[in-house]
Amino acid sequence: MTTWHYQMTITPNSDHIGQSIKAVLIHWLIPQRIRGALRLKQHVRINGLYRPTNYQLQANDQLSLVFDQADFRTGESQYPANNSHALDIIFENDDLVVVNKPAGMKMHPHSPSETDTLLNFLAANFSKRHLYSAGAIAKPYMVHRIDRETSGAVIVAKNPVVVPILNRMLKEKVIQRTYLAWVQGILLKNSGTIDLPIGRDISKPFQRQVNGIQAQHAKTHWFKIHTVFQNTLLRLQLDTGRMHQIRVHLASINHPIVGDSLYGQRLNQQRMMLHAMSLTLPLPFDGPKRIITTPLPSDFPKQLHV
């Protein structure tokens, strides 16, 4: 069984001095179920010795955590490696990578025979570089998705330990995502917010719609950058992460994304004009906050003439 090991030193100026191990694990957004497994298996150690989670941390303590595969609900990453595509990794540490995904690339396979996805390419990349994460062989674990037709920044974990932590950060909007989109038409205001629930489209199972089946709260903020002819470039920020949220919201105000084949019109564009421009990402386990920005791809014009 694969195990993942973390060891942290409580430095003399740490905010965690005097806090219990339990409080620190909660602060790190480790789920209750996994905290319980650490306690029951005695996988929490201070200076090499097991300590109960009410132990109060002291300066220079060495805190060690051990996680094993049974602690996690999802299975171990088993994506077949495909080395046919080089990836643009724009940020990397021991726990995760941020990849600048090109438009047209799928995030993950839907069947065992499908191997031309971002996670397959990352499996090959990690293997070729002989990467390790938390003491085990690094493998790609999906944290969040961006659509196949969307380009830009996407987070992929190297181990399952940080997946629920990053998911919680996304849910609580600790991770902030910013997009650029060319939309059809001219927006008269400089900014606005679309606060409309999104659910399934009963007539089109692969699409979503405002006030659809089992609709969930969704909020998108937009800011106008400039207008060229009959198209407007927007900067967008998400408060929620519903499937096709930006696409559905913009179509609902009659400004669909240029080149959107599902919610707008595919004209002479080779791709949908939506790009995940940047992430504000606090790294797990008290890591620094990083602002990670992707360059505009060559097929996403600064001036759009349609």
Sheet strands side by side (includes 49-50): 3-9, 62-68, 44-46, 49-50
Amino acid of residue 279: L
Choosing from 71, 95, 147, 260, the catalytic residue is 147
The pLDDT of residue 19: 96
Q: Which residue has the tokens 């003439």?
A: 305
Question: What span, in angstroms and rounded, lies between the C-alpha atoms of 152 and 30?
Answer: 28
pTM for the structure as a whole: 0.92
pLDDT tens for 178-221 read: 999 999 999 989 999 999 999 988 888 788 988 888 888 999 99
pLDDT tens for 154-168 read: 999 999 999 999 999
Please compute, for residue 67, the number of CA atoms within 13 A of its CA located in the half-sphere on the CB side: 23
| Per-chain mean pLDDT for the chain | 93
pLDDT tens for 11-63 read: 999 999 999 999 999 999 999 999 999 999 999 999 999 999 999 999 999 99
pLDDT tens for 73-113 read: 878 889 999 999 999 999 999 999 999 999 999 999 988 88
Task: Using the predicted structure, report yes or no on whether residue 264 has a pLDDT greater than 90.
Answer: no
pLDDT tens for 120-145 read: 999 999 999 999 999 999 999 999 98
Q: Average pLDDT for residues 212-239, to the nearest whole number?
A: 92
Determine whether 147 is an active site residue: yes
38 φ, ψ to 5°? -60, -40
The pLDDT of residue 249: 97
Q: Average pLDDT for residues 247-272, to the nearest whole number?
A: 87
Encoded tokens for 60: 């220079």
C-alpha separations of 90 from 149, 155, 274, 291 in Å:
20, 10, 19, 11
Q: How confident is the model at residue 267 (pLDDT cuts 50, 70, 90)?
A: low
The pLDDT of residue 304: 60
CB 36 within 8 A of CB 26: no
The pLDDT of residue 268: 67
